[in-house]
Amino acid sequence: MSLRLQFLIVALLAIALAAGWWSFANWGGDSGEHKKAGRSGATLVLVEAVELTDDQISLRVIGTGKAIRSAALYPAVAGEVREVTFKAEQRVAKGQALIRLDDKHQRLKVRLGEVGVAEALRQSRRLQKLAPSGYAAQSRLDTAQAELDLAELRLEQAKAELYDRTIYAPFDGVLGMTDLSPGDRVTEDTMAVTLDDRATILVEFSVPEAHAGKIKVTDAVSVRPWSAPDLIIQGKITALASRIDKTTRSLRIQAEINNADDLIRPGSSFDVQLAFTGKAYPIVREVAVLWSRDGAYLWRTVDGKAEKVFVRLVRRDKGRVLVDGPLRPGELIVVEGVQGLRLGQAVKTAPFKAGAS
C-alpha cells in the first residue's frame, strides 16, 4: 500500500470520528429537554426557591444546684453547749431551737429585770395618785417615770442576752451534720450547723456570649441530674447576670426546679438543655452548597444566567443548611446541575422535585 493511500485512510477515519462525536454531543442524551437545552446553548439545572426559617438552637451546658435558701448557723455569743436538740437530716420549722448554750446567768438577769420593772411601775403608779392632790411633786413623778423606762430597757437587754444563748432555725429546712456536743466550748466563729431549704433547687450555669442575647427570664429549661441520668426535670430561668464575665466570655444564669420529692441535694451537678429561637435565615438543600478556597457558595439563577453567591453556614438540619448571605425569599437556587457551572453561564431551569431520580 502506497504512503499516499495510507494518509487518505487515516484522514477519512479522523473525519468519521469527529462527525460521530458531534452527532452524539448534539443529538444524544437522556431526554428531549436535554437535547433542546443542548441545541439552544443553555445548561439545564434543577432549582428551588429560597425560604426563610427560624434558627432553632439547642444548647447543652453543665450546671450546679444549690438550695433556694441556705445558711451556715453560728452562735451569737461564746459559751458552753448545754443541749443539741436535733439530728442530721432532720426537717425543722422556722424559729425552732437547735442548740442551747449555758444560760443560767442570763436567766437570773431576766428575773432581776422583771423585779426592777415591777418595782418601778409600783412607784410610778403611787406617785400618779398623789400628784393631783399635791402630796407628790411633779418632779418626783417625772423621775419615777424615767426609772420605769430604764427598768424596762434593762429587762429587754436581759431578754436579748438570753435569746442569744440559743441558736434558732431562721427558716423551714433540713439540717446538716454538726460536730458539737454538750460540754463543747464555742465562740462567734464556730460554725454550728448548716440549714437548707431544698424544696426548690436553683441551678446555676453559664452560656457563651454569642447566645446571651437570646435568653430571657421565664424561658424553659430541661435538666438531668448526673446522679439520676434517667430523670428529666423541667424548670424555668429566674435570673440573668447583669454583665458578661470578661474572663470566660460567658453569661451566668440561674434556673429554678421543683424538688418537692427531695430527690436532689444541693451541690449536685446537672446536664442543662436549653432550646430557643434565633434569627431567621435562608434554608437550602445541603447538595446545593459548594466550596472553594474563598469559602462556601451557592449558584443562583438571575435572568437565565448563573450567579455565584458566597454564604456562611449557620447550622445543618436534616439534609438542609441554614445559611447567612445576600439571599432573598423566592430567589432560585441551583440544587442539581451545579457541577461545571460558570459565572454568567446561560441556564434553563426546571423545578427540583425531592426524591426524583
Q: Report the pLDDT value the prediction gives residue 107, as an integer from 0 to 100.
A: 95
How far is CA 337 from its chain centroid? Answer: 44
Given a contact cutoff of 8 angstroms between Cβ atoms, the answer to whether 101 and 165 are in contact is yes
> 27 or 106, which is more confident?
106
Given a contact cutoff of 8 angstroms between Cβ atoms, the answer to whether 321 and 283 are in contact is yes
Residue among 323, 64, 320, 55 at smallest CA distance from 214 = 55
- CA–CA dist 6, 283 (Å, integer): 63
Per-residue pLDDT averaged across 328-355, rounded? 87
- CA–CA dist 95, 167 (Å, integer): 9
Residue among 106, 74, 68, 72 at smallest CA distance from 260 = 68
∠ CA 77-99-87, rounded to 5°: 150
- CA–CA dist 58, 238 (Å, integer): 19
Query: Nearest 5°: phi and psi at 267?
Result: 95, -10
Residue 31 has pLDDT above 70, yes or no: no
Q: Three-state SS for 293?
A: coil
The three grid cell numbers given for residue 317, joined into one nine-digit string: 438540619
**Percentage of residues of the chain with pLDDT beyond 90:** 62
pLDDT tens figures, 231-240: 999 999 999 9
pLDDT tens figures, 155-194: 999 999 999 999 999 999 999 999 999 999 999 999 999 9
The three grid cell numbers given for residue 247, joined into one nine-digit string: 474572663
> 156 or 315, which is more confident?
156
- CA–CA dist 325, 309 (Å, integer): 8
For residue 350, how many other CB atoms are within 10 A of its CB?
13
Q: Report the pLDDT value the prediction gives residue 8, as an integer from 0 to 100.
A: 62
- For residue 107, CA distances in Å to 75, 81, 164, 322 come to 18, 16, 12, 76
Interhelix angle 104-130/138-163, nearest 10 degrees: 160
* Cβ-proximal residues to 198 (8 Å cutoff; 6+ apart), any chain: 67, 68, 173, 174, 259, 262, 264, 265, 266
* Cβ-proximal residues to 52 (8 Å cutoff; 6+ apart), any chain: 280, 281, 282, 283, 329
Query: Nearest 5°: phi and psi at 171?
Result: -160, 165
Q: Mean pLDDT over all residues of the chain?
A: 86
Q: At which residue does the C-alpha cell 454564604 appear?
A: 311
Given a contact cutoff of 8 angstroms between Cβ atoms, the answer to whether 246 and 240 are in contact is no
Strands 166-168 and 97-101: antiparallel
CA atoms within 13 A of residue 308's CA, in its CB half-sphere: 15
CA atoms within 13 A of residue 214's CA, in its CB half-sphere: 19
In order, the DSSP letters of 227-265 are T-TT--EEEEEEEE-SS-BTTTTEEEEEEEEE-TT----
In order, the DSSP letters of 155-166 are HHHHHHHHHTTE
- Map out the domains of the chain with their CATH numbers: 31-50+289-351 (2.40.420.20), 60-67+197-278 (2.40.30.170), 80-102+165-191 (2.40.50.100), 103-164 (1.10.287)
pLDDT tens figures, 36-72: 444 446 889 899 999 998 888 888 999 999 999 999 9
Given a contact cutoff of 8 angstroms between Cβ atoms, the answer to whether 34 and 162 are in contact is no
- For residue 199, CA distances in Å to 91, 177, 316 come to 11, 19, 41
pLDDT tens figures, 240-280: 999 999 999 999 999 999 998 888 999 999 999 998 887 89
